[in-house]
Amino acid sequence: MMAGLLLRLLPLVLLSPEPGAAVWPQPQSLSLDAEGGCRLSASRFRFGYANSSAVGPGCAVLDEAFQRYWELLFHSRRRDAGNGHSEDPLCTELFVSVAEQGCDGYPSMDSSENYKLTVSAEQMLLTADTVWGSLRGLETFSQLAWRGDDGTFYLNKTTVVDFPRFRHRGLLLDTSRHYLPLKAILETLDVMAYNKLNVFHWHIVDDPSFPYESMVFPDLSWKGAYNPVTHVYTASDVKTVIEHARLRGIRVISEFDTPGHTHSWGAGLPGLLTPCYAGLKPSGVYGPVNPILNTTYQVMAKLFEEVSAVFPDFYIHLGGDEVDFTCWKSNPEIQTFMQKMGFGQDFTKLESFYIQKLLDIVSSYNKGYVVWQEVFDNAVKVRPDTIVHVWKLSAGAYPKEMAQVTKAGYRVLLSAPWYLNYISYGQDWIAAYRVEPLAFEGSPEQKALVIGGEACMWGEYVDATNLSPRLWPRAGAVAERLWSNQTVRSLADAYMRLADFRCMLLTRGIRAEPLFTGHCDYEFNAL
């Protein structure tokens, strides 16, 4: 009762955050001094490389980031340089120094994202181990500017020392149940970078449609997409997504979920799915992938060879969830195979048989894999470096699952409490924010196996019309939980900073929904 009353009163009783302190997600360490700051001028300010930097002009990741963040600083937030009467010195240049060479590669799970940012009238310097860390520092720098009463924009004297708590901070988008235009995906990647999220989990195909345009099996999209011309992702589209993500320090992990969730595969690959039976005759309905045919594994070998070449990340998400055994049980050929293999009527063993062969195929292409938790629950033999993705939504069930997976020695990702496609009246970002990924019984060694988590946006009721406001700023609550220190828990402080961040997203052209009553200096329809 009191907690609910507090949340209703938050906008009425809290002051605005201290100027220059409303960074989202909260850095590991931020010290701010109102004395010794400087003001911003669009005509005088620029980004540059420090002499000590191992990378310099020609590094596409930073060259493009400099241009992008200059636009965000001076155009999206309308910083009119020097229009006020401030006598504070001008901020003229932020120097960036990167310790490690390398601008042409892709971020990986092991990439450092650490950075240190120093802002004062005497010096503005951003140092980082890698270009990926420098991107995180540039985002923080862009959020430090604040507008005075005279209309001039300022930077306080600030020191930030920052690094992520978890290595994997992801967002899943489902592009099968509703096709998301390329523009919507690219905008989502932009906002992920604003939140320091670093993994785009592309759940690209599922039962309703197969929008991925395969070169080796073109009929998959030609016959399985909603429209084979307008509702597909071409090879060029996929490259665009991967490069757009790379330039923002975001990994792209594709998911091709089997043996279930494959209805859309059937028309393009006759014979792949299991014929279901009604009595002694086929019913005309098809179930999951048929696991007893050699041709099934020939198809998977060719498809995943292509997928492994198209998507550069080391990991592929192989799904493995929600397999309905009804069709397999009805099929006499599968029943015969079950008896031959000694599986009896335990169809989890048949599922495990399929998954094991698929994992061997993917491993042969020197790829790692992520699987949904059912693969672990059904005791499939997997490699020690397998990542298990915990998703089941039963109240209170996921801590027990996290404990079991980590006790078995596997790394784990958490999504169960972060299904953002579910909405409720009120400030439902709070439930996501309160989650603690390590709140389960286990040793320190087990806790170290939690590599992060993902917010999920499933597409049954989501397309480009409502994707952005449903995601943002709610996904920001997940982003802060995965980036910031475990001690960052204050709802009052989070509310102030997230509301401020939401207003900033509006200035950047993002349709982010409000947290509660209130207003922004620049409302979306006034831009």
Cα dihedral 170/171/174/175 (nearest 10): -100
Q: Do you find a cis peptide bond into 25, omega within 30 degrees of 0?
A: yes
Distance CA 437, CA 417 (A): 10
Distances (CA, A) of 259 to 134, 266, 304, 351: 41, 12, 14, 8
Nearest to 255 by CA among 383, 415, 111, 393: 415
Q: What is the 3-state secondary structure (H, E, C) of 1-27?
A: CHHHHHHHHHHHHCCCCCCCCCCCCCC
Find the largest Cα–Cα distance for the chain: 89
Residues serving a catalytic function are 322
DSSP state of 379: T
DSSP state of 451: E
3-state helix, strand, coil in the chain (%, to 5): 35, 20, 45
DSSP state of 395: T
DSSP string, 126-185: EEESSHHHHHHHHHHHHHH-EE-TTS-EEEEEEEEEE--S-SEEEEEEE-SSSPPPHHHH
Beta pairing class for 115-119 and 153-162: antiparallel
Phi, psi (deg, nearest 5) at residue 53: -70, 140
Contact (Cβ atoms closer than 8 angstroms) between residue 251 and residue 198:
yes
Q: Do you find a cis peptide bond into 384, omega within 30 degrees of 0?
A: no
| Start-end of H helices in 1-100 | 2-13, 60-71
Distance CA 59, CA 61 (A): 6
Cα dihedral 431/137/504/461 (nearest 10): -50
Contact (Cβ atoms closer than 8 angstroms) between residue 256 and residue 318:
yes
Q: At what angle do helices 235-246 and 182-194 cross, to 10 degrees?
A: 10
Residue type, 157: K
How many C-beta atoms surround the C-beta of residue 150 within 10 A? 12
